[in-house]
Amino acid sequence: MCRIAVLASGRGSNLEAIIQAWKAGELGGEIALVLSDNPKARALERAAKYKIPHQVVNPASYSNREAFDEALIEVLKEYQVELIVLAGYMRLISARVLQAFPWKIINIHPSLLPAFPGLNAQEQAWQYGVKYSGCTVHFVDEGMDTGPIIAQRVVPVLPGDTVTDLTDRILKEEHRLYPQVIRWFAEGRVILQGRKVLIKGE
């Protein structure tokens, strides 16, 4: 059973979708840990509600980035984590952490990458006037939303949409896509070949 850590900084809506898939037996692995850099993150409350082990590694408690990174790695290794899932985790992952867990860290982003990386992707897409947007699950590398793309879902941008309308529509697809990709990982179906990602059986 694949041991999964979910890293979240905020309310944890994607975490909730992942937990529901796990409870329904649809995740293919187990959530071994919820970890946050924010002691006040609602994601920690969600973890407690479902009796999932949860910890805070607060950067404010460490003298520098290197010490924080080592503490993060230590906790993840203590829980024997095999897949790290970023779900609204608002810190860039360092090269040191990437080296400790090579190609074992994934993220979800609310646009069709490589379009609109970074913060406020939904508003970027809305302002630009695109007809379609969506969400992307990708491997994490040292760049900002630049890792190899694993899967994407497309949503229309409708006439009269507000940024909130588009954000809500994308979020619904995030909640469907992320647990599915985690299951592919747990089943050993995700194959990385250079920048190309193949899903066995898809």
pLDDT (0 to 100) of residue 100: 98
Q: Tens digits of per-residue pLDDT, 125-171? A: 999 999 999 999 999 999 999 999 999 999 999 999 999 999 999 99
Place of tokens 């924080």: 68
Kindly report the average pLDDT of the chain as a whole number.
97
Confidence of residue 21 (pLDDT cuts 50, 70, 90): very high
CA dihedral 70, 14, 50, 27 (to 10 degrees): -90
**Same CATH fold, 107-202 and 1-102?**
yes
Residues catalogued as catalytic = 109
Whether 202 shows a pLDDT value over 90: the answer reads: no
Query: CATH assignment of 1-102, given 1.10.530.10, 3.40.430.10, 1.20.1250.20, 3.40.50.170?
Result: 3.40.50.170
Superfamily name with CATH number, domain 107-202: Formyl transferase, N-terminal domain (3.40.50.170)
- CB of 3 within 8 A of CB of 83? yes
Instruction: Give the start-to-end residue ranges of the domains of the chain.
Output: 1-102, 107-202
Q: Tens digits of per-residue pLDDT, 68-108? A: 999 999 999 999 999 999 999 999 999 999 999 999 999 99
* Most distant CA pair in the chain, distance: 50
* Ramachandran angles phi, psi of 69, nearest 5°: -60, -45
CA dihedral 120, 125, 128, 133 (to 10 degrees): 180
